[in-house]
Amino acid sequence: MTLYGIPPAGMRRAMAPESGRDHAHAIADAAHAWWTSNRGGSSDRAIAVGTLAGLALSAPSRPEGPDYGPLLLPLNDEQLIDALRAGWNSFWTYDPDLTEAARPLHDWLSHPTETDIRGLSDYARVLVRAGLLEYCSDTARAESDDVLGLLITRMRSYSERQSTGEFFTPAVAADHMGDILFSTDRRPGDLFLEAAAGTGTMARAAAATLRFFGNDPAKYRWWLNDLDPLNSACCAVSAQLWRLGRHVTVSCGDALNDPRLLEEAVRERAERATAEQQTRPVLYPTRTRPPFWPWQSVPPS
């Protein structure tokens, strides 16, 4: 039985590509194909990637569900915007600093124009149909590739990427680096620092290696920095998808000039975000549904 042509979660899981990496590529391909044919080229990439990120954060924390697909499928564009707002509100409650670091992916939700919103519920259905929720709720799948990075790469032209050197390491190569880095003697509390992290695929690979050897990435510290605001925003979301834990710092700045300035800036941002969250528990007021719908006050951990 299908609703809007989309089978229930169990069947979507069974129909997903067997390899998590193929699944990530299929999701990014479906997202990019919809965007280019319906929204024209690679414009509004913060909205394209931000919508995928918001839905990814809202996926259940376990593969067994619950299935949020039926809650998302019937939404119209306006209601989808409120569902995304609710997702970011949950993340804001859970980790105000990472939500702040991810701001380029959700800032547009404060005052979206009609053009920003047009067709987004259809886009969300494409992502659900491609199995985004099942991909994100299964740690082994979610850490097998960098789905946000894959979509960003598709949305940037070759010449654009050439001008900034944005060629992310393919997952298969990053995984070898992760093996080399983390199969040797590492101790809980050690810091993994990537000064030019892109969208964080090296951290993803390192976390996967740690888990492979029976260690918990959440017991380590992670610092991901990138010069590009959208890249570092993706790091903030993916840190959650890859279950890196609570000791994650994400910054956006020039790591070559004066890294100490980055330290100062992130400390100030964290203090500001924590204080603001106390006085402003809801980041984005919603109009069509409760502010944390359908999720409670904390997102998956």
Sites for ligand SAM among residues 246-265 (CB under 6 A)? 254-256
Residue 234 CA to residue 214 CA, distance in Å, equals 26
Interface with ligand SAM includes 1 (CB under 6 A)?
A: no
Residue 15 CA to residue 200 CA, distance in Å, equals 28
Cβ nearer to ligand SAM, comparing 118 with 221: 221
Q: Smallest Cα–Cα separation from 215: which of 238, 235, 245, 236?
A: 245
| 53 and 88 Cβ atoms separated by less than 8 Å | no
Interface with ligand SAM includes 82 (CB under 6 A)?
A: no
Interface with ligand SAM includes 143 (CB under 6 A)?
A: no
Strand locations in the chain (E): 191-194, 221-226, 248-252
Least distance CB 86 / ligand SAM (angstroms): 30
The residues that bridge with 223 in the sheet, in sequence order, are: 193, 249
Least distance CB 192 / ligand SAM (angstroms): 12
Least distance CB 14 / ligand SAM (angstroms): 32
Q: Is 251 helix (H, G, I), strand (E, B) or coil?
A: strand
Write the CB contacts of 144 (distance below 8 Å, at least 6 apart in sequence). 19, 20, 21, 23, 24, 171, 208
Interface with ligand SAM includes 231 (CB under 6 A)?
A: yes
Q: Mask 163-202, x = binds ligand SAM (CB under 6 A)?
A: -xxxxxx------------------------xxxxx--xx
Cβ nearer to ligand SAM, comparing 136 with 227: 227
Residue 137 CA to residue 195 CA, distance in Å, equals 28
Least distance CB 255 / ligand SAM (angstroms): 4
Residue 290 CA to residue 160 CA, distance in Å, equals 40
Straight-line distance from the first to the last Cα atom of the chain, in angstroms, rounded to the nearest whole number = 31
Cβ nearer to ligand SAM, comparing 14 with 256: 256
Cβ nearer to ligand SAM, comparing 167 with 213: 167
Cβ nearer to ligand SAM, comparing 124 with 227: 227
Longest dimension (CA), the chain: 58
Interface with ligand SAM includes 209 (CB under 6 A)?
A: no
Residue at shortest CB range from ligand SAM: 198
Q: ω before 66 within 30° of 0 (cis)?
A: yes
Cβ nearer to ligand SAM, comparing 89 with 251: 251
Cβ nearer to ligand SAM, comparing 160 with 254: 254
Interface with ligand SAM includes 145 (CB under 6 A)?
A: no
Which residues make up the interface to ligand SAM (CB under 6 A)? 164-169, 194-198, 201-202, 225-228, 231, 254-256
